[in-house]
Amino acid sequence: MGKTTGFLEYERVEGKVRSEEERVKDFKEFHASLPLAEQQKQAARCMDCGIPFCQAGVMISNMMSGCPLHNLVPEVNDLVYRGRLAEAYRRLSVTHSFPEFTSRVCPALCEAACTCGLHDKAVCTKENERTVIEYAYEHGLVKEEAPAVRTGKKVAVIGSGPSGLAAAQLLNSRGHEVTVYERRDRIGGLLRYGIPNMKLDKSLIDRRIKLMEEGGIKFVTNADVGKNIKAADLMKENDAVILTCGASNPRDINAPGRDAKGIRFAVDFLSEVTKRLLDSDFKKVPTDLAKDKDVIVIGGGDTGNDCVGSCIRLGAKSVTQLEMMPEPCANRRDNNPWPEWPRILKVDYGQEEAIWKFGHDPRVYQTTVKEFIKDKTGDLKEVVLVSLKPQKDEKTGRVNMVPVEGSEKKVPAQLVLIAAGFLGSEKYVTEAFGVEVDGRTNVKTDAGDYRTSIKKVYAAGDVHIGQSLVVRAISEGRKVAAAVDEDLMGYTNL
């Protein structure tokens, strides 16, 4: 696949990125694609490695290795190299529902498991994928056509994130009548409101939704199932109901002063930023949310990084990102061999922008908030930080991060964003359908299955597996569609 000697002839080159100074002035995407001729060279680096770990999609050491969609990566790369982009799109679309999303927000599990990346830099599979899907849109190849024959079966999908959209897409193509219910005012779930616009332009979601509507899928917004729409009614009116409503129950920080005004969950904050931008057609930037404020972001993951980048664009005075765990190593350790996901230090776009603006990495490791301090009016004015150290529990053998006595220090803070992850499903939804949940409050099914404890109710995505990646959510959506189709028709070709 690719050019036999391509990985020896060409260095890895990525698309240009707008400078930090330029990109923090707006909420536009800042990562451009390479010219097609250069992208073909990058695809030529795919090295015919024999065993393409890039498409394995298996769990190793509790981490996903390779693409969970099992995209036939070498085949797509080969077609890009040969300039046969229409065929590359057809090959990609066999396994993938929405390359326009993952080619922007996926951490590129395929590249982390790339054989070329074992001793050199990995193939630019993510950017190859973006080139393919944008070529397909530009040339009218992307279609969501209404099926010629309908089965007479009705399916309700609860939640319009990547998992719900993927399930709806396949079930509609099979001929089932699909309605997607979204509790927010716009379709897209966390794609819409959990990921900032500079990372995923919302017009890309609108572009796909328009095609899906033309293909016959119905979308209902402001539909909060379990509140203003009864679960019992949906179960009565449909042959199957799929829960793809995410793991949207945020993990809180229980510390003295938590009731101070100015403490918010990260996704709520990011959602408000995006909504206000969209409501004003990007003419009004909601700088009042962070301008001239000292911001503390609790959480070192992707959502925390998105908060850093967003707050810089909103004019924050300072931004500090707290991470409970120790700072990762710059290179792989012996206990983290390829093709495992590399647990190494990475600098994402938000951190890059903070380094440019403030002169240092915003991340502070092995640190958390011990106390929130309010002023006389109840507004947050300071936080007390405390250092942490690893300590092994002699009974369980687990290593816990515990406070270091005497390490407390006060720092100014008028805005704290909690990006500490999610605990699982929201109780009012699972109780409305009466489905069984596991110890982590994820909707419970048998291993490898998507059927819940309630007949004709299914679960997929984060509500099923817990907080995860967009690419895994799409994979879950495609798999639950096959399970539903098999139950409705007696067999499935999805």
pLDDT tens, 476-491? 999 999 999 999 999 9
What domains appear along the chain, each with residue ranges and CATH number?
A: 6-138 (1.10.1060.10), 154-248+423-489 (3.50.50.60), 252-420 (3.50.50.60)
Per the prediction, the chain carries an average pLDDT of 96
SS (H, E, C) 10-36: CCCCCCCECCHHHHCCCCCCCECCCCH
- Reference 128, options 161, 158, 155, 106; nearest CA is 106
Helix axes 85-95, 125-138, angle to 10 degrees: 110
The pLDDT value given to residue 335 = 93
Question: Which of the residue ranges 78-87, 157-166, 376-385, 417-426 would you say has the lowest mean pLDDT?
Answer: 417-426
Query: Taking the CA of residue 255 as centre, how many other CA atoms within 13 Å lie in the half-sphere pointing to its CB?
Result: 18
Give the neighbor-by-neighbor strand order of the sheet with 177-181.
Answer: 218-220, 177-181, 154-158, 240-243, 457-459
2 has pLDDT over 80: no
Give dist(CA 405, CA 394) in Å, integer. Answer: 20
Q: What is the pTM of this model?
A: 0.96
The pLDDT value given to residue 306 = 98
pLDDT tens, 142-182? 999 899 999 999 999 999 999 999 999 999 999 999 999 99
**pLDDT bracket for residue 1 (50, 70, 90):** low
The pLDDT value given to residue 322 = 98
The pLDDT value given to residue 394 = 87
The pLDDT value given to residue 396 = 87
pLDDT tens, 85-117? 999 999 999 999 999 999 999 999 999 999 999
Give dist(CA 268, CA 254) in Å, integer. Answer: 18
* 3-state SS assignment for residue 427: helix
Percentage above 70 pLDDT, the chain: 100
Residue 186 φ then ψ, to 5°: -135, 155
**pLDDT bracket for residue 3 (50, 70, 90):** confident
- 157 secondary structure, DSSP code: E
How distant, in Å, are the alpha carbons of 145, 274, 289, 422, 424 from that of 24? Answer: 39, 15, 16, 28, 33
Percentage above 90 pLDDT, the chain: 96
pLDDT tens, 298-342? 999 999 999 999 999 999 999 999 999 999 999 999 999 999 999
